[in-house]
Homo-oligomer: A and B are copies of this chain.
Amino acid sequence: MQAVTNLVTGASSGPQYLTGDKPAIDAFIAKFDVFLFDCDGVLWSGDHLFPLIPETIAHLRSLSKRLIFVTNNSTKSRADYAKKFHTMGIPCSEEEVFGSSYSAAIYISRIMRLEPPKNRVYVLGESGVEQELASESIPFCGGTDPLLRREMLPEDFKRIADGSLLDDDVAIVLTGLDYHPSYLKYALGMAYLRRGAHFLATNTDSTLPSAGTLFPGAGATSAPLVTASGKQPLALGKPGQAMMEAIEGKFAFERARACMVGDRLDTDIRFGIEGGLGGTLCVLTGVSRKEEFLGKGRGVVPSAYVDSLGDLLG
């Protein structure tokens, strides 16, 4: 291990490699009361569960650690996500899940607090976004509306230009990962932004890990709106600290006694470091490689890393 000063974490040495080092693992775990977990790339990749995950989660629960599953996945609501945990054989309550769609809904309902009737949200995303908006009683349109999953017709250009296809109550454009993009949906989103709608994103991850490789993420499927409007959305997912504040507000924990566990340096680990958490743990089963934080010229550096989350069992 290199004894260099770590400018990002403030630690005086490089990240600690925990895999296979039982005493170091036990000491690391003992430092924290709360573990914030990223899910995709940490617990599973798509529908593929990584080895020893249920056992590792059960082990941490047996040590009375509080577990919070923080995900930028906007396509699922907290309820959907808790179901996925059960399907995967990991007991989990809906209350332990904190997703970027929920984070966005909280931001809209409790921070923005727009007055009706001009408070509708135009959604570019899947049902997870819609469910969380509904849970906060926020009116919305777009999203999974089957009427929008069609070709752009010549009259649509005219009806968007003259406003007759637009909803005058839309005040916010909210983008998440959209598996059903269409030119019509992008054209509508662009028109609302040109009319002055607020631009929010559940998250802006450029890629989505699945099936052992990478696919376009929410930042990719919302990129046409960014390019076409020339505006950047406010992102309500990791690594944005609006999400950390919402999590802390809900769960009331001591940041110094919390550890963020994730596979992405630029979202998960950065989220923990910028949030002033007591520690960050990078797992190498997802996007980031150890070469990115070891050696010279490093950017975001975790406190510790393991090859796989199951290594925490020792």
Contact = CB atoms under 8 A, between A and B. Distances in A.
Contacts of A183: 178-181, 216, 221
A228 B207 contact: yes
B227 A215 contact: no
Interface residues of A, number: 41
Copies assembled: 2
A180 B161 contact: no
A224 B220 contact: yes
Interface stretch (A62-70, A150-158, A235-243): A150-158
A230 B151 CA distance: 28
B224 A228 contact: no
Given A151-B180, A224-B224, A227-B223, A161 B210 contact: yes
A148 to B, nearest CB: 13
Contacts of A187: 215-216
Contacts of A224: 181, 216, 220-221, 223-224
A135 interface: no
A201 to B, nearest CB: 12
A21 interface: no
B220 A186 contact: yes
Contact of A161 (B161, B212, B223): B212
Interface in A155-211: 157-158, 160-162, 178-183, 186-187, 190-191, 194, 206-207, 210-211
A214 interface: yes
13 contacts: A46-B157, A152-B179, A161-B210, A179-B183, A180-B182, A181-B186, A190-B214, A194-B213, A217-B227, A220-B225, A220-B227, A223-B226, A223-B227
Given A46-B157, A186-B220, 16 more contacts: A47-B154, A151-B180, A160-B211, A161-B210, A179-B183, A181-B182, A181-B224, A183-B216, A183-B221, A187-B216, A190-B215, A190-B216, A194-B213, A216-B225, A219-B227, A220-B225
Interface of A: 46-47, 151-152, 154, 157-158, 160-162, 178-183, 186-187, 190-191, 194, 206-207, 210-217, 219-221, 223-228, 230
